[in-house]
Chains A and B, each alone.
Chain A
Amino acid sequence: MTFDPLVIRKDFPIFDRKIRDGKRLVYLDSGATSQKPSVVIDAESNFYRNHNAAAHRGAHQLAEEATEALESARSVVADFLGGATDEIVFTKHSTEALNLLAYSIGDSPAGNVFHLKAGDEVVVSEMEHHANLIPWQQLAKRTGAVLKWFEVTPDGRLDLSDIESVITSRTKIVALTHQSNVLGTINPLAELVKRTHDVGAIFILDACQSVPHMPVSVAALDIDFLVFSGHKSVGPTGVGVLWGRASLLAELPPFLFGGSMIENVTMLDATWAPAPRKFEPGVPNMAQIVGLGVALNYLTKIGMQEIHNHENTITKYAISKLREIEKLKIIGPTDMKLRGGAVSFTLGEIHPHDLGQFLDNSGIAVRTGHHCAWPLTRKMGVAATTRASFYLYNTLEDIDDLADGVRDAQKYFA
């Protein structure tokens, strides 16, 4: 099957609607959330229509079916990442997955592999989304650990020139993004993971911007934990994924307590079910989890490498078209070897909010602002940027419309 975005678009009903008085939808905000194919929308609806019951509870057929649907989705996610089924923890979103790690690590008693004490070091980078910065920043404050970070170079890459002074023998945790949600930069993980393991620390990967867009194998990357979000991967909102090495999940204390995460409970104490159950109290977001399983099967059927190749084509074209525009400045690397399909830029004196509003009037959806990465936009010396981010359903025509829209905005605000 050859990859054809025009055929793929037919799977996504939202492209049938019109925007701002009859304009074609040019959706360039998949970095914030992706659109959903009919199979995912139907899977959620079908779960409620035909199989709804509390999974892992209840002695009846519906409960059996709900459990089967939930656990099948877990296998799909595990296969998608190249991990084991019991290594997949479902959360509400990737933000919760990162907070789960930060709180569980903070709760680890002395003697536990995760135990943090004053003076231990936690490493992040200046290009982290707030969701992979603030949990660690606050964990450091609670424990007396020291927060350290990799700086970002003027062309938007991680500055690894001082890797040995950033990741040291005192480092316990390294939490980094795979691909920047602002700059599009893909980080060179091999060197970072090796250094992290050499000093005996744990490597946590924020893969929200990579897992939906390229083949990612946790085994090949040799990382310890990974998080990604369902809704950026053509799946539903309300479901995030934490993958962790089985041996580490076994040792990590639980974060949220309640029903179904226990082994035994008395009035004064409790013990925990094995992972992943000990991290999943409460009735899970079953319909959303089922929808995520269908979403990942949908992506797999198309092929993650094919999707990645398509996004590379689109991104390369976008960069070349945008660079032709006077006063437009791309914030981030322009070399395709270093980046994925999110392109941030500024446009002279025209504020991103005004540009975004103007583009919206033409049916073009982009994101504007600091993109939940305020320290990064400050570092890059801009108050805000406009970001176009791409996915499997975007076409070269979308990029032409964007470039035309940007030029029209320049005339409008001149």
Chain B
Amino acid sequence: MQLDNLYQEVILDHYKHPQNKKLSPVFDAQVHHVNPSCGDEIDLNLTINDGVISNISWDGVGCSISQASVSILTELLIGKKIADAYSILDQFVALMQSKGAVPGDEYVLEDAIALAGVSKYPARIKCALLGWMAFKDASVQAQAKSKLD
């Protein structure tokens, strides 16, 4: 079924068993993002230590794509240097905007490659990017804060 390209097993697994879906009480930055077209919401807490992402935790409501995408993001980015995380973020955004023309680098994107099918459904790209944009926002705030400290 065509739909199986969108709803890969990995996505449904993350949706049913979301990772790091419990807001940590300790964080450098906390953001709240919404998808105004559908009402999906996410809170995301981020901690960065010496340029390395030490923790990402989140809570939210949304469709399987948005929930799985942020769950995958946390597993992929925790432990990465912030510069490497940005490189992964850029590749993920490019994959989402590719309309299916780019296969994506599985070595870099790992489980996030399962979201490649989303790029063929324009209305769902915002769902997949909700958590990633929240992460980007939080990382900018966390780094600005560490400069002040």
Contact residues of A with B, CB < 8 Å? 20-21, 351-354, 357-358, 361, 368-370, 374, 377, 383-384, 412-413
Contacts and interface: CB of A to CB of B under 8 A. Distances in A.
A20 B2 contact: yes
Given A353-B127, A357-B6, A377 B63 contact: no
A358 B39 contact: no
A307 B20 CA distance: 52
A361 B6 CA distance: 11
Contacts, number: 47
Interface size, B (range) = 10 to 19
B1 interface: yes
Contact of A361 (B2, B61, B62): B2
A383 B3 contact: no
Contacts of B61: 383
B39 A384 contact: yes
B104 to A, nearest CB: 21
Given A352-B38, A353-B63, A384-B38, 15 more contacts: A351-B62, A351-B64, A352-B63, A353-B64, A353-B124, A354-B63, A354-B64, A357-B6, A357-B124, A361-B1, A361-B3, A369-B37, A369-B39, A370-B39, A383-B39
25 contacts: A351-B63, A351-B64, A352-B38, A353-B40, A353-B62, A353-B63, A353-B65, A354-B7, A357-B6, A357-B121, A357-B124, A361-B1, A361-B2, A368-B38, A369-B37, A369-B38, A369-B39, A370-B38, A370-B39, A374-B39, A383-B39, A384-B38, A384-B40, A412-B3, A413-B12
Contacts of A383: 39-41, 61-62
A206 B65 CA distance: 35
A357 B124 CA distance: 9
Contacts of B121: 357
A377 B39 contact: yes
Interface in B1-16: 1-3, 6-7, 12
Interface in B94-127: 121, 124, 127
A193 B22 CA distance: 50
A409 to B, nearest CB: 10
A369 B61 CA distance: 12
A21 B2 CA distance: 9
A-B pairs, top 3 by smallest CB distance, nearest first, are A353-B63, A351-B63, A369-B38
A21 B3 CA distance: 12
Nearest to A378: B39
Interface string B43-77: 00000000000000000011111000000000000
Which of the listed residues A352, A357, A370 has the most CB atoms from chain B within 10 Å of its own CB?
A357
Contacts of B62: 351, 353, 383
Interface centre among B1, B39, B65 (most CB of A within 10 A): B39
Contacts of A369: 37-39
A221 B72 CA distance: 56
Contacts of A20: 2
Contacts of B64: 351, 353-354, 413
Nearest to A368: B38
A108 B64 CA distance: 50
A23 to B, nearest CB: 10
B2 to A, nearest CB: 6
